[in-house]
Structure 1
Amino acid sequence: MSVAFAKEESAEAASETILPARPISDRINLVTQAGLQMLKDDLARAQQALEAANLLEDVNERRRQSAVPMRDVRYFAERVRTAQLMPAPTSNEVVAFGHTVTFERDDGRTQSFRIVGEDEANPSRASISHGSPVALALIGKAVGDIVMLGQRELEILSIS
């Protein structure tokens, strides 16, 4: 193997390992207790994957295998560091972070979502980020209130 080929292989491997940082929102990093635990678990998994990659003998393969875990460690470490744990709501009078809100849309459909932190949000599992348009429209409102979301109306049916 020529030296030129080895350098090309190293340059190729190096370019594969330079991943852009995961974007971090400029919103305040509010989290529920479950959301904070999820971030800590994700950080631990990324650290374990990075440790496993660092055990590889081949330097080029080690670089390739450690790229994603290294990026994830940086992301999750920052999210855990900046997390602001929010206590569970003590009142169901008005919609707040941590509440599950059930509302009826003007097309007759009823939906329920829990308002949580950005990393915890998963609309397919009935949770939305506190910074989402729906959450922003609902926060501070009470049962019976009608809020506008673009051209749509939402009527708050319950808060829990």
Structure 2
Amino acid sequence: MSVAFVKEESAEAASETVLPARPISGRPNLVTEAGLKLLQDELARAQQALEEASRIEDINERRRQSAVPYRDAQYFAERVRTAQLMPAPASNDVVAFGHKVTFERDDGRVQTYRIVGEDEANPAAGTISHGSPVAIALMGKSVGDVVRAGQHELEIIAIE
């Protein structure tokens, strides 16, 4: 078909509707109960937005409004499918997935983080991914152990 017969708006809309997939790390998709619920809720939200967008009559606008929910629905469906629900740690002897760990940095700051799944992690809210450098350094260690994370040393002072 000649370009003369294609609306410019349609070509523009088509390019806006193909978004790259959200990246998924190669790490195991470990989740807490709250993390699994978060993934399920996000999947439901994306599916609802996709359903709402499908009711838009103008095809170009429907494509634009569907792009993000479609990408998100694919991402969250895969994350729910691959989720490995981890039980709460049975002991507070050594740092494990799901623990809340308090440590003192070599600069004197004391910080507390809970080690959770990648999608649940939010350092500002006190959670870090099990794949983060700090969590990797802390895993398997006990109270009193000193670990190196980047250029800092961290001393574990509590495990909950």
Relative to the length of structure 1, the TM-score reads 0.96
Task: Tell me what 2:96 maps to.
Answer: 96
Residue 4 (structure 1) shift: 3.6
Partner amino acid for 2:97?
F
Please list, as runs of the form range in 1=range in 2, the aligned pairs for 1:1-160 lying within 5 A after superposition: 4=4, 7-160=7-160
Question: Sequence identity of aligned pairs in percent?
Answer: 77
Separation in 1, partners of 2:49, 2:33: 25
Separation in 1, partners of 2:37, 2:111: 27
Please state whether the residue corresponding to 2:148 is helix, strand or coil.
strand
Please state whether the residue corresponding to 2:7 is helix, strand or coil.
helix
Q: Please, which runs of 5 or more residues in structure 1 have no aligned partner?
A: none
Separation in 1, partners of 2:35, 2:136: 19
Separation in 2, partners of 1:12, 1:123: 38
Residue 134 (structure 1) shift: 0.1
- Structure 1 stretches (4+) deviating beyond 6 angstroms? none
Residue 7 (structure 1) shift: 2.6
Name the CA shift for 1:99/1:93 in 2 (closer, same or farther; >3 Å): same
Separation in 1, partners of 2:121, 2:26: 16
Residue 11 (structure 1) shift: 1.3
- Number of residue equivalences: 158
Separation in 2, partners of 1:53, 1:100: 40
